[in-house]
């Protein structure tokens, strides 16, 4: 009776030893593996992310280190990651394709780093992302398509960067957006800013710190956004760029040429009908 029972139970026992072993073995030094899914490597002065983690890590906390890059294959190996906190590190750029397998990621904190630009589609595959923190970086360029595909994103933080302008096209991609932070940037109040101004005006309920906190620079003077109104940008609405101007001239010329050709064609047709078709009056006269 007893051996039989052991045979039944031993696979279970061995399975649980297998489960227990890797946690101890795979947990990177200087990190604490709270359970199979949560790894805490915060405040350790790490110069880079440790090279291996338990494979089914879901929550990776690595804030307050000196990490300079996100390994381009991080999400290839750790595709179950839901939560990645890299706040307060030394990231200066995000390599292309880094987030290409991050289809489960919900929360990404890259605030307090040294990022300077966001390229088109950089988070494209992180389509479940709900919160994206990019505050307190050195961002000066955000591509029109930087937030492409982020249909679930509810919170976007771009505060305290180096942004002088931002295309409204980038923000219009965000269909679920509820909260945004834009304060603490050196926005320039020129006609490029007009569209963002109107967007902010329409979406002021989404601004976490309110419109009151946003300032823009006009001739070396900082102005609070609530001091401005549509009237301040009135002259921008009618201002055309060189391309608009060229398109209008070109379409004008094209329309004129088309008009000349069509009237010529019409005249010829009418002329032909007059000459070829027997006229009604003549018919009546013949009768
Ligand atoms: C960033 O991390 C350092 C330690 O690496 C810490 O002294 C500092 O207070 C942290 N700053 C923020 C804003 O969290
Ligand atoms: C960002 O870069 C500046 C200068 O390039 C440097 O002084 C600063 O320490 C960097 N900040 C972080 C968080 O790495
Ligand atoms: C921000 O980036 C600019 C280049 O885009 C660089 O010259 C400047 O030193 C950076 N500032 C900080 C604080 O890192």
Return the pLDDT at 85: 98
**pLDDT above 60 for 12:** no
Quick one: pLDDT band at residue 282, thresholds 50, 70, 90?
very low
Percent of the chain with pLDDT over 70: 80
* 17 within some domain: no
Query: What are the tens digits of pLDDT across the range 22-51?
Result: 455 578 989 999 888 999 999 999 999 998
- pLDDT-above-90 percentage for the chain: 58
CA 64 to centroid of ligand 1, rounded, Å: 5
Model confidence at 11: pLDDT above 50: no
| pLDDT the model gives residue 227 | 86
Q: Is 90 in the pocket of ligand 2 (CB under 6 A)?
A: yes
Per-residue confidence (pLDDT) for residue 272, from 0 to 100: 66
Question: Residue range 120-145: average pLDDT?
Answer: 96
In angstroms, the CA 171 to CA 105 distance is 20
Do residues 193 and 187 touch, judged by C-beta distance below 8 A? yes
Q: Does residue 135 fall inside a structural domain?
A: yes
Work out the angle at residue 20's Cα, subtended by the Cα atoms of residues 12 and 84, and round it to the nearest 5 degrees. Answer: 125
pTM, two decimal places: 0.77
In a domain, 258, yes or no: no
**Does ligand 2 come within 6 angstroms of the Cβ of 116?**
no
pLDDT higher at 9 or 137: 137
**Residue 167 covered by a domain:** yes
If one counts the domains in the chain, the total is 1
Q: Ligand 1 mean position to 225 CA, how many Å?
A: 31
- CA 137/CA 230 separation, integer angstroms: 30
C-alpha pair distances (Å), 161 with each of 4, 118, 149, 272: 68, 12, 23, 71
Domain contains 41: yes
Q: Is residue 176 part of a domain?
A: yes
Cβ pair 178, 154 in contact under 8 A: yes
Question: Residue 74 is part of a domain; what is its CATH number?
Answer: 3.80.10.10
Coil, strand or helix at 221:
strand
Q: Does residue 114's CB lie within 6 angstroms of at least one atom of ligand 2?
A: yes
72 lies in which domain range?
23-181
Residue range 234-264, pLDDT digits in tens: 777 655 555 555 665 666 677 777 777 777 7
Are 123 and 99 in contact by the 8 Å Cβ rule? The answer is yes
């Amino acid at each position: 009776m007893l051996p039989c029972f052991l045979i039944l139970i031993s696979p279970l026992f061995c399975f649980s030893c297998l489960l227990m072993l890797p946690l101890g073995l795979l947990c990177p030094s200087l990190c604490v593996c709270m359970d199979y899914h949560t790894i805490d490597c915060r405040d350790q002065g790490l110069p880079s992310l440790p090279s291996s983690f338990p494979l089914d890590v879901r929550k990776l906390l690595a804030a307050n280190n000196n990490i300079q890059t996100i390994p381009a294959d991080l999400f290839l190996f750790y595709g179950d990651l839901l939560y990645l906190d890299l706040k307060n590190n030394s990231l200066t750029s995000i390599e292309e394709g880094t987030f290409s397998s991050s289809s489960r990621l919900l929360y990404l904190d890259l605030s307090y780093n040294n990022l300077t630009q966001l390229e088109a589609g950089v988070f494209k595959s992180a389509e479940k992302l709900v919160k994206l923190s990019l505050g307190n970086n050195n961002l000066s360029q955000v591509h029109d398509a930087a937030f492409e595909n982020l249909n679930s994103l509810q919170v976007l933080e771009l505060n305290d960067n180096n942004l002088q302008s931002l295309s409204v096209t980038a923000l219009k991609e965000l269909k679920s957006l509820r909260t945004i932070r834009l304060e603490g940037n050196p926005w320039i109040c020129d006609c490029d800013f007009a569209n963002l101004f109107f967007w902010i005006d329409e979406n002021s309920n989404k601004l976490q710190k309110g419109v009151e906190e946003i300032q823009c620079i006009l001739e070396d003077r900082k102005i609070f956004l609530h001091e401005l109104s549509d009237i301040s940008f009135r002259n921008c609405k009618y201002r055309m760029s060189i391309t608009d101007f060229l398109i209008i001239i070109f379409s004008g010329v094209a329309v004129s040429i088309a008009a000349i050709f069509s009237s010529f064609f019409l005249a010829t047709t009418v002329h032909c009908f007059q000459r070829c078709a027997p006229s009604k009056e003549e018919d009546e006269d013949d009768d």
